[in-house]
Chains A and B, each alone.
Chain A
């Protein structure tokens, strides 16, 4: 019976195109209810106990759905959820068409400014990311996996200024009001940001300044970020 249930969606997915094969999930693009749709399927991890695995996978799916709705309610752009299949752990999401990841956008912009490297054209974007993350944290949503690949830029008019920022991939997200959790969220981003985009420290600084200026609760978070950085450094000195 369990197998049969899951057949419906897996039949459908077998015809879609795979966008990304990750360690926890596959991401597909297909037409669903007449619309271009992104389908994120979490699959079982063979090395985990089946029951525990089912529980964890279910929880991730629920967390992702909850955080998306919570962000949207606050006006923080995330893809619309069209449908969730909790038996096959699939989320059917709005396809942010005509979008690029912030990662690709930064890389392409830097490429263009070569050979006279400048980060100035990217400063407005960094500031915007800081603002959006501040709003997300003010809603007590902790993303859990902030990277520049998990942020999309969608063209919403003409010109650079009209790019709107859409947050994706809330699979590791959770609700927390603790400055520590939010500080770690920023720390994860900082690590990912600076390793993906080498020599962009001033840009990330800009992001943090904008974060700090946008949230009333930011000073406690930044303080925690500093502590976590220090811990990180100590740990790497020991190890």
Chain B
């Protein structure tokens, strides 16, 4: 039920996404991610419009890792940081990282080659219900997204919320 997306700039690398709801062990998952037992980014889906948003963040993270210019300590935290509209790292984690009170989580795994074992291991650790990516919109909070990304009505009217969010993410380092 996961979805995989190739990163064309980095042949062989893919971004794999798994979505879970009714998660009962968020605190444990967060600890495992911090301790390195889970080697994926665990994201709270409330601020996500579409999987594309995450893929854009992952591509930028791999790029910055490749040129040695990450702003955070790991690829997974860099993905979380890239989702944020601001350059404040702790704020990014607060908004996009999984917290102990969350009951849904998006698992983002950047892999080279066969990642099926890693996916199975992560699935094992999540005490929750895996759902198709199509359910992402039912977990997001559009009002909060507009506010966080400061999307103006005229901007949203022109190209939609996803376009506005992605452009904000991609341009934040020079604004």
Interface residues of A (CB under 8 A from B): 5, 8-9, 11-12, 30-35, 62, 65-66, 68-69, 72-77, 80-85, 87, 94
Contact = CB atoms under 8 A, between A and B. Distances in A.
SS of A interface (majority): mixed
B28 interface: no
Interface in B2-25: 5, 7-11
A80 B175 contact: no
B66 interface: yes
B66 A84 contact: no
B83 to A, nearest CB: 14
SS of B interface (majority): helix
Contact of B166 (A11, A77, A82): A82
Among A11, A30, A82, chain B packs the most CB atoms within 10 A around the CB of: A82
Nearest to B154: A75
B170 A81 contact: yes
Nearest to A75: B154
B155 A75 contact: yes
Nearest to B156: A75
B33 interface: no
B155 A83 contact: no
Interface residues of B, number: 29
A33 B163 contact: no
14 contacts: A8-B66, A31-B8, A32-B8, A32-B9, A33-B8, A34-B52, A34-B55, A35-B52, A74-B154, A80-B170, A81-B167, A84-B170, A84-B171, A85-B63
Interface string B46-77: 00000010011001100100110000000000
B158 A75 contact: yes
Contacts of B163: 80, 94
Interface in B113-169: 152, 154-155, 157-159, 163-164, 166-168
A31 B155 CA distance: 25
